[in-house]
């Protein structure tokens, strides 16, 4: 009878040791989920863009890091960048995609889509004082896109703003 008691005691002690460790895991994941929601809310507020758990958080963190970087023709660093280099960098870092260096080249290498079908990560193209595509941005959501303004640098704008409405050429999706 004694060996049987040892097994029962051993089984009981194993349960006592293992059960508390299961509880602590739930607390950690609950805490990290809460932290993630807080980070998303903070990013959303800072960028003035609607962001949720389904959004590409890495994209918005990268944008936040570049907001305000000044425009510089042919620039490609945080000391100054142009629109196509910024979009090329975002596509490479966030999506692991490459569609060329110039906005015109990006336009020719993407699949045309309707404005109503735009989704996060699609490209939006403009003709600004030019006969060919001369400006590119990356669509975020709710008609907002990130781009590099010649006067304000990296920023988020709305496709419904008159300036962009009048110069909008089309949208493209990277395959």
- Going by pLDDT thresholds of 50, 70 and 90, the confidence category of residue 30 is low
Angstrom CA distances, 114 to 11, 89, 95, 122, 168, stand at 64, 24, 21, 11, 12
Two structure tokens written together for 161? 């703003």
**Is 85 an active-site residue?**
no
| 3-7, 20-24, 34-38, 66-70: least confident range | 20-24
Is-catalytic flag, 135? yes
State the chain's mean pLDDT as an integer: 88
**Active-site entry in 71, 85, 104, 147:** 147
Kindly state the average pLDDT of the residues 94-99: 95
Radius of gyration, alpha carbons of the chain: 25
8-state DSSP, 37: H
Q: Are 86 and 137 in contact (CB under 8 A)?
A: no
Check 71, 83, 85, 104 and give the catalytic one: 83
Q: Which of 71, 85, 104, 135 is catalytic?
A: 135
149 Cβ contact partners less than 8 Å away, ≥ 6 residues apart = 71, 155, 157
DSSP reduced 3-state for 1: coil
pLDDT at 26: 43
């Amino acid at each position: 009878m004694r060996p049987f008691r040892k097994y029962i005691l051993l089984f009981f002690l194993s349960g006592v040791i293992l059960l508390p460790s299961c509880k602590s895991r739930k607390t950690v994941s609950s805490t990290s989920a809460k932290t993630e929601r807080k980070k998303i809310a903070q990013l959303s507020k800072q960028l003035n863009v609607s962001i949720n758990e389904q959004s590409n958080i890495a994209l918005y963190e990268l944008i936040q890091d570049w907001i305000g970087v000044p425009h510089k023709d042919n620039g490609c660093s945080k000391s100054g960048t142009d629109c196509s280099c910024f979009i090329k960098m975002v596509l490479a870092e966030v999506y692991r995609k490459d569609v060329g260096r110039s906005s015109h080249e990006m336009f020719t290498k993407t699949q045309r889509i309707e404005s109503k079908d735009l989704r996060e990560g699609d490209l939006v193209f403009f003709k600004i004082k030019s006969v060919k595509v001369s400006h590119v941005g990356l669509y975020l959501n709710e008609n907002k896109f990130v781009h590099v303004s010649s006067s304000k640098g990296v920023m988020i704008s709305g496709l419904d703003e008159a300036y962009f409405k009048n110069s909008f050429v089309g949208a493209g999706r990277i395959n």
